[in-house]
Structures are given as C-alpha cells and as structure tokens.
Structure 1
C-alpha cells in the first residue's frame, strides 16, 4: 500500500491551514493601483476606507498598530499633524511618519463625520467585542480594495500597503537612506 506524504504526515481529514495558499512576500501596490483604489473610494464616499487606506500608505505601520491608532496620536485639537509618532506594539520602539495633505484631509473628514474625540480610537469597531477595528477585519477590507480594481486578492495583503511607500521612494531616488 503506497501513501502520499500528506496521508502519512497528517491525520485523516486534517487539511493544513496554508494548503493552496501563496507563501512568501506580497508585492507592494504600484502608483496607478494606489490612485485607482483612492479614486474609487472617493467616488463611493467611503470616508473610513479612504482615511484607512491613505493612512496605511503614509504611515507604513503594521496592521495591528494602524487599527489601534487613537485620534490624539495624529491630531492636536482640530488639526491633523503633518508628522506623527507612535510606539510599535511588536518592537516597543517609536516610529515617526509624515502625513500628506491628502491623507490629512481624508482623516479630518472621517473624524468630523464620526464626531470622534481625542481619546477615541481612530477606527472604532462596529461590534462590542473590541473597541477598534480588528486586524482580521482590516485584512478583509484590504482584500476588497484590491479586488475593487481587478487585482487578485490572494497576491496582496496588509503588508503590501506597509511596503508601498518605501518602494515608491526607493524607485524614485534609488537611495536607501531616503527610504
């Protein structure tokens, strides 16, 4: 009786969690893909998604750090800061990032629409289980954005957004220090 590797290493009926999934790095978005997503979110008047998308690109934060941002992390009074600094959950180190004018406008519109206070999470959860958007929900949102412009969602993830700005800067300058 011959058995395949899967039959000999896995109990009957058990399927590995990553069977059939792509492994390895996910690519960053290209400039035209960023604009395609951004324009569709603007036309659909998706304020939260636009603020989340723009902030993800500008901040280069991990998903867990992005969804746990509070209004006070990026705003002072009614003004969205051009530069912000947050402590990363994974490393415990501070990370500074710049917010473009476009991102500041999108975030301001979102804060105003939801009447968020300084201590509020920037992206509050709609469920009672958590106070802010979960990283899993953020990942599903990213999948929808990618599918919205006709890209294969399996090829992109939240880390694609984290890598996008750095890749664009490097391609433009060919200077790692600039990144």
Structure 2
C-alpha cells in the first residue's frame, strides 16, 4: 500500500529505508573470506561452509543458489568441476566453476546430507522436500559477516555474488569475461554492478605500458 505525500496518514511515518544502507552491497575481501571460513569450520557448520563456498564460486543470485539440486553439482560419486543452471531472472543458462576447496566442502556436506540427484542441495529446515528460502539464506549471510565483526548493513547475499566477480575484474580488467560469468545480458549492467568508474579505468590504463 502506498500513500501520497499530502495524505494526513503519511505524517510522522518512518520511511522504509530510514537508518538503512541502501544501494550496492560490498564484496568481501580475501581476508574476510578466510575469516568466515575459519568461523564456520570452528563451529562445525558443514552446511553453511558448503553454502558459503558455493555462493562465492558460483556467483549465482540467491534464488538460483538455493534452488540448486544435487544432480547439477554431482556426476556419479564426484563433484563436478563445472556446472550450469538456467537463471530464474533471465531464463538464460550460466556456467560456473567449482574449485578444489569448494568441491571438498560440498563433498563433506553432501556425505552428511545424503539424498538423491533430484533433491535440493540445501533443503528447508521445515520441509526437506523444498529448498532453503532466500530469506533464510539472507539471515545466514547476516550471521556470517557479523561473526567476523562486519556491519550487516554493508553486506548481503549480493556480496556473495559480487565477491569473486570483483576480484576477477580487478585482476584482469576484463569486463566481458565478468559479464559472461555473472550471466548479465548487457555489459552496461556489469559496469553498474561492479561499480566501475573513471578511477578504475585509469588504474587499469596505468598498468599498461607501451
């Protein structure tokens, strides 16, 4: 329900974003990634370690991440090194890699979790036949970042999606590669998503000597 600014009912109402940080969420640094991994390992949270690792590596939106099924990630008894999903938002396929450490944490979780190829990798706590909700995933991200002393207002599920993409861009300056990895239809979206600005462009230019 929306109100006009001239309606009496609007007087004294607090805006939905009052006191909140809105806009693009920050990506994690390498140090912060290892701090969260240390925390999850110390607490023996196998599911959360696998979810965190997969979120960073896959660069998927939360809705696509929580809906992953075991068969997408597993071939026979092995975790795939690459996988592909159809994005809910765009209806387009996107591929992602699964590096060694991530395959290890996934293998540990799936060994404990059990299930078949048609089961969700991260089931709901209430109904195991359904996936974890995006809201639950968002709450977990809040837990992870606050556990290592970060402000939850500055980070969110999109921080997980942006982290590796931002690292790849900083290392290579290759926007087209990042666009493909994120599954964006337009490179302009990738530019906005990464927050690329003139300073970034100048730094990349300064690295190139002719």
Q: Answer whether TM exceeds 0.5 for this pair.
A: yes
* Structure 1 runs, 4 residues or longer, greater than 6 Å off: none
Q: Shift in Å at residue 177 of structure 1? A: 3.8
Partner of 2:153: 154
- Distance (whole Å) between structure 1 residues aligned to residue 16 and residue 68 of structure 2: 30
CA deviation profile, 1:117-153 (whole Å, cap 9, x unmatched): 1111000011139711000000000000000100001
1:97 equivalent to 2:108? Answer no
**Could you tell me how far 1:175 is from its partner in structure 2?**
2.6
Give how far 1:13 is off: 6.2
Q: CA RMSD in A?
A: 2.0
Aligned pairs for 1:80-91 (under 5 A) are: 80-91=79-90
Assess if the C-alpha contact under 8 Å between 2:120 and 2:129 holds in 1. no
Q: Deviations over 1:34-70 (max 9, x none)?
A: 0110111112211000000000000000000000000
- Cross-structure match for 1:176: 175
TM score, norm. by length of structure 2: 0.78
Structure 1: state its 5+ residue gaps: none
Structure 1 residues 111 and 9, CA gap change in structure 2 (3 angstroms):
farther
Q: What is the TM-score normalised by the length of structure 1?
A: 0.90
- Report the CA distance shift for 1:149/1:90 in structure 2 as closer, same or farther (over 3 A): same
* Residues matched between the structures, number: 175
The equivalences for 1:1-179 within 5 A come to 10-11=9-10, 14-128=13-127, 131-179=130-178
Structure-2 separation of matches of 1:128 and 1:177: 40
